[in-house]
């Protein structure tokens, strides 16, 4: 009996995991990758360190129109299974703050090296510079048309072509058209885990300045999410870990035509009345000192004039003795609630992940097989499932790749 022949379209994280699992299960596996080599995007994850997974795995860290879909795959191959898998390949896993798991080498290239070594050991064929232009299905299985290469026949196909985030690393949305061939619907994709654009006149003056505080996203008077950490101002808006985490819900609101604000709290560990008392003490100590100068040593100097003007203080250099209690309260309020309109997100080239993608309603959550075309499976970012920053998106790649690879390869080859 001939081996089951499986072609994985896309040599990213989920595609490589799916290929390894299918090959271990006895299938003959080929990976068709449109770039000159597999795993290019994996090298950029975790700032080049590869945040493999997160020990605090929770469905609330995943998103999509039907995020409960992710439950079954995450249960089949969870974070512990992922860590064991990579430990077996030679990657010593180290847990850091927030449950983030990295290779002890601190190199994403180490992860790619062991994945490629395992594929080679299992006889997985890498076909690079091979963009899949079309997939059809007939009596003898699937036929894949590859640009400038011979067509490939397969008994099963795993579509792991990624989304649209960071197209320079191979994700250009080409997999969506292939899925549409078989009747699959697409939830409109938008950039996620991306920097935010703000609408404010002082951005150039603050470009490069950092604050450590709390950022929240507000839409229609409702706080959608809060995050704390270092926030970096740029000439177009804001960046930094808290902003990146907030960008997903921001993008979703903007896509739906909603107005969205970011609210910054420079003193999240201090109540408003306590901050007011602090400012009153500082201004009463030396009443001849200019009001704006009294903030030196309290906040980053580059923010002082901007925040005081935003608070409605006209005469910034007025002696502290002449400052009214109302002006002190206004300054404190602005430090606790600095509201800035969000005008958009950065483009796909800046995004770490795609929100949206193939509608999971037409995919079996346990097997990752299409409900519309038997023998067609999906894995990774191409589906309408995405995660928070911190290892959740790679875990989804591993989990969905495992489910697709295992279930695509567990049957014997069809006899023609």
Supply the DSSP string of 327-371, one letter for each residue: HHHHHHHHHH-EEEEEEEE--GGG-SEEEEEE-GGGB-TTT-BBS
**Is 331 found in the same domain as 365?**
no
- Ranges of residues in the chain with a pLDDT under 70 are 1, 412-416
In a domain, 134, yes or no: yes
Q: Which of 292, 323, 345 is the last residue of a domain?
A: 345
**Is 183 found in the same domain as 42?**
yes
Q: Name the residue range of residue 223's domain.
A: 195-345
In a domain, 236, yes or no: yes
Residue with the two structure tokens 């309603």: 361
pLDDT at site 151: 92
Cα–Cα distance between 392 and 386 in angstroms, integer?
Answer: 8
Q: Which of 345, 378, 395 is the last residue of a domain?
A: 345
**Is 288 found in the same domain as 177?**
no
Residue with the two structure tokens 């739906």: 256
**Alpha-carbon separation of residue 27 from 96, 117, 141, 290 (angstroms):** 37, 17, 15, 76
- How many other CB atoms are found less than 10 A from the CB of residue 46? 21
In a domain, 254, yes or no: yes
In a domain, 360, yes or no: yes
**Is 359 found in the same domain as 217?**
no
Cα–Cα distance between 375 and 170 in angstroms, integer?
Answer: 25
Domain count, the chain: 2
In a domain, 415, yes or no: no
Count of positions (residues) in the chain? 416
Residue with the two structure tokens 């994280």: 13
Question: Token pair for residue 353?
Answer: 């992940």
**Is 104 found in the same domain as 18?**
yes
Q: What pTM did the predictor assign?
A: 0.94
pLDDT at site 412: 55
DSSP secondary structure string, 99-117?
Answer: GEEEETT--HHHHHHHHHH
In a domain, 91, yes or no: yes
**Is 178 found in the same domain as 149?**
yes
**Is 324 found in the same domain as 397?**
no
**Is 71 found in the same domain as 115?**
yes
In a domain, 72, yes or no: yes
Do 16 and 31 contact (CB within 8 A), yes or no?
yes
Do 20 and 126 contact (CB within 8 A), yes or no?
no
Q: Which of 311, 345, 379 is the last residue of a domain?
A: 345
Cα–Cα distance between 3 and 408 in angstroms, integer?
Answer: 13
Cα–Cα distance between 350 and 174 in angstroms, integer?
Answer: 18
Cα–Cα distance between 92 and 220 in angstroms, integer?
Answer: 46
pLDDT at site 416: 35
**Is 207 found in the same domain as 187?**
no
- CATH number of the domain at 144, please: 3.50.50.60
In a domain, 416, yes or no: no
Helix (H) or strand (E) holding 287: none
**Is 366 found in the same domain as 334?**
no
**Is 10 found in the same domain as 99?**
yes
**Is 76 found in the same domain as 12?**
yes
DSSP secondary structure string, 36-70?
Answer: SSTTTGGGGGGGGT---EESS--GGGEESTTGGGH
Q: Which one, of 381, 383, 387, lies nearest residue 247 by Cα? A: 387
Contacts of 298 by beta carbon, 8 Å cutoff, 6+ apart? 282
């Amino acid at each position: 009996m001939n081996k089951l022949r499986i072609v994985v379209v896309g040599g990213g994280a989920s595609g490589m995991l799916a290929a390894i699992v299918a090959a271990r299960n006895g299938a003959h596996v080929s990976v068709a990758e449109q770039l000159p080599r597999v795993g290019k995007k994996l090298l950029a994850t975790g700032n080049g360190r590869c945040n493999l997974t997160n020990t605090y795995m929770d469905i609330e860290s995943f998103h999509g129109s039907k995020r409960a879909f992710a439950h079954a795959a995450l249960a089949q191959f969870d974070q512990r299974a992922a860590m064991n898998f990579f430990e077996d390949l030679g990657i010593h896993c180290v847990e850091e703050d927030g449950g983030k798991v990295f290779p002890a080498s601190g190199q994403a290239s180490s992860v790619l090296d062991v994945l490629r070594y395992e594929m080679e050991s299992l006889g997985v064929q890498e076909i690079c510079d091979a963009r899949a232009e079309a997939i059809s299905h007939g009596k003898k299985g699937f036929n894949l048309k590859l640009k400038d290469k011979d067509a490939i026949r397969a008994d099963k196909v795993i579509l792991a072509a990624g989304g649209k985030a960071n197209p320079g690393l191979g994700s250009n949305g080409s997999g969506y058209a292939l899925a549409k061939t078989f009747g699959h619907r697409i939830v409109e994709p938008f950039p996620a885990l991306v920097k935010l654009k703000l609408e404010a006149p002082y951005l150039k003056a603050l470009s490069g300045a950092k604050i450590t505080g709390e950022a929240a996203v507000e839409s229609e008077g409702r706080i959608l999410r809060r995050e704390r950490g270092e926030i970096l101002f740029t000439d177009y808006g804001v960046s930094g870990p808290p902003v990146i985490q907030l960008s997903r819900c921001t993008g979703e609101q903007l896509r739906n035509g909603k107005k969205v604000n970011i609210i910054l709290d420079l003193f999240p560990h201090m109540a408003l009345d306590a901050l007011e008392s602090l400012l009153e003490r500082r201004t009463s100590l030396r009443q001849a000192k200019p009001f704006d100068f009294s903030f030196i040593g309290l906040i980053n100097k580059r923010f002082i004039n901007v925040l005081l003007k935003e608070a409605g203080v006209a005469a910034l250099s007025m002696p502290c003795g002449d400052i009214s209690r109302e002006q002190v309260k206004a300054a404190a309020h602005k430090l606790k609630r600095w509201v800035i309109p969000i005008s958009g997100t950065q483009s796909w080239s800046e995004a770490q992940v795609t929100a949206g993608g193939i509608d999971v309603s037409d995919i079996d959550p346990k097997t990752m097989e299409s409900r519309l075309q038997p023998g067609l499976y999906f894995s990774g970012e191409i589906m309408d499932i995405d995660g928070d920053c911190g290892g959740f998106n790679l875990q989804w790649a591993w989990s969905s790749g495992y489910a697709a690879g295992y279930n695509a390869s567990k049957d014997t080859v069809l006899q023609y």
